[in-house]
């Protein structure tokens, strides 16, 4: 039994990210990161997934389960999943070393994500702070998919909106929604391990009175229609949840889906059509997409359009 964290990494092609992410999430919960490499050269692996296993009596079993799952995915992946690699990292020094690199991050025109152990910096005093501590280097707001979702919330949310955050994780999107003017946020995550960090962040930001968290959750249900639904999870899960997304929305409601790789955009767009959801706009960052959908308002509305959200990247 090791007193160190075990880090297992695997190189991927974009089309394998959904399957690998879902498999690893089942095994390691929130201790998962997906790294995209900007502008990869020909023959490079553009994506690397990392799973982290806590020290203790269950580490060897968890390590075996992760390696077995990755090997099965490699065999079935027809060249889209590479061989896994392993290393041990120190329980204290390496597990928290990322904090020294985690500085306040300005997002969009109005937000700044601030590490919960720091004060809001003077140079960002005019911005709305979201204090965040995920307990690990994940869910901190620095990943492109989280930044895209935060920018989309800023651009799309109207004061008084009722918001649903699916796959809340650290709670960053739910907290930001309240601070941007949402009247109520319903936050869901199926992973019980996400609850301590999410609740800690909600309390730190003093927004407990406007966020209802359901962690763990097996279904999405809210007592009032949502004017805005946001989800930062992988494309395959978006496809599976599309019916539930649509059922949550009020008439003319907006749906913001982040965590979609460029190669998977069409899968999500096609899955949305049967539920009357039209692609209104997209934003992109480092190979990832944020897709904004709206309910069809007339039978003559186009099946989809693609623009750039105001205040967001191309």
The predicted-structure confidence for 239-268, as pLDDT tens digits, reads as follows 999 999 999 999 999 999 999 988 899 999
pLDDT of residue 279: 97
pLDDT of residue 300: 39
Structural domain spans, the chain: 5-94, 142-295
Look at the pTM and tell me if it is higher than 0.85: no
DSSP secondary structure letters along 201-222: HHHHTT-GGGEEEESS-SS---
Which CATH number does the domain 142-295 belong to among 2.130.10.10, 3.40.50.150, 3.40.109.10, 3.40.50.300? 3.40.50.150
pLDDT of residue 34: 78
Q: In what order do the strands lie in the sheet with 81-89?
A: 32-36, 47-53, 5-12, 81-89
Report the 10 Å Cβ neighbour count for 57: 7
CA distance 266 to 294: 16
Residue 114: is it exposed, middle or buried by C-beta count within 10 angstroms (0-12/13-18/19+)? buried
pLDDT of residue 1: 55
Share of the chain above pLDDT 90, in %: 51
Spell out the residues 6+ positions from residue 169 whose beta carbon is closer than 8 angstroms to its own: 30, 134, 138, 139, 189, 194, 197, 198, 232
- Which residues of the chain are modeled with pLDDT < 50? 93-95, 98, 101, 136-138, 298-314
* Topology, domain 5-94: Alpha-Beta Plaits (3.30.70)
pLDDT of residue 301: 40
pLDDT of residue 65: 95
pLDDT of residue 13: 86
pLDDT of residue 263: 86
**Do the beta carbons of residue 270 and residue 287 sit within 8 Å?**
no
pLDDT of residue 190: 87
Classify strands 105-107 and 111-115 as parallel, antiparallel or unpaired: antiparallel
């Amino acid at each position: 039994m090791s007193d160190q964290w075990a880090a297992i990494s695997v190189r991927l092609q974009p089309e394998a990210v959904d399957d690998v992410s879902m498999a690893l999430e089942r095994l390691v919960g929130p201790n998962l990161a997906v790294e995209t490499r900007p502008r990869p050269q020909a023959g490079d692996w553009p994506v690397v997934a990392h799973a982290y296993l806590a020290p203790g009596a269950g580490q060897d079993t968890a390590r075996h389960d992760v390696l077995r799952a990755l090997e099965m995915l490699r065999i079935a992946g027809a060249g889209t999943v590479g061989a896994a690699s392993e290393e041990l990292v120190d329980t204290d020094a390496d597990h928290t070393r990322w904090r020294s690199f985690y500085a306040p991050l300005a997002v969009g025109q109005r937000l700044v994500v601030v590490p919960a152990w720091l004060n809001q910096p003077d140079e960002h005093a005019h911005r709305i702070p979201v204090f965040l501590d995920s307990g690990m280097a994940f869910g901190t707001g620095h990943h492109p998919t989280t930044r895209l979702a935060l920018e989309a919330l800023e651009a799309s949310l109207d004061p008084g909106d009722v918001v649903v955050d699916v796959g809340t994780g650290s709670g960053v999107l739910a907290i930001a929604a309240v601070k941007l003017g949402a009247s109520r946020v319903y936050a869901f995550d199926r992973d019980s391990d996400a609850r301590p960090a999410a609740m800690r962040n909600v309390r730190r930001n003093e927004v407990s009175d406007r966020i209802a968290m359901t962690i763990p959750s097996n279904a999405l249900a809210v007592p009032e229609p949502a004017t805005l639904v946001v989800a930062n999870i992988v494309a395959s899960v978006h496809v599976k949840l599309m019916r539930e997304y649509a059922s949550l929305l009020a008439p003319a409601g907006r749906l913001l889906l982040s965590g979609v790789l460029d190669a998977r955009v069409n899968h999500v767009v096609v899955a949305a059509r049967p539920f009357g959801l039209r692609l209104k706009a997209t934003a992109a960052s480092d190979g990832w997409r944020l897709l904004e959908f709206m309910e069809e308002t007339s039978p003559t509305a186009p099946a989809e359009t693609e623009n750039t959200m105001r205040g967001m990247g191309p």
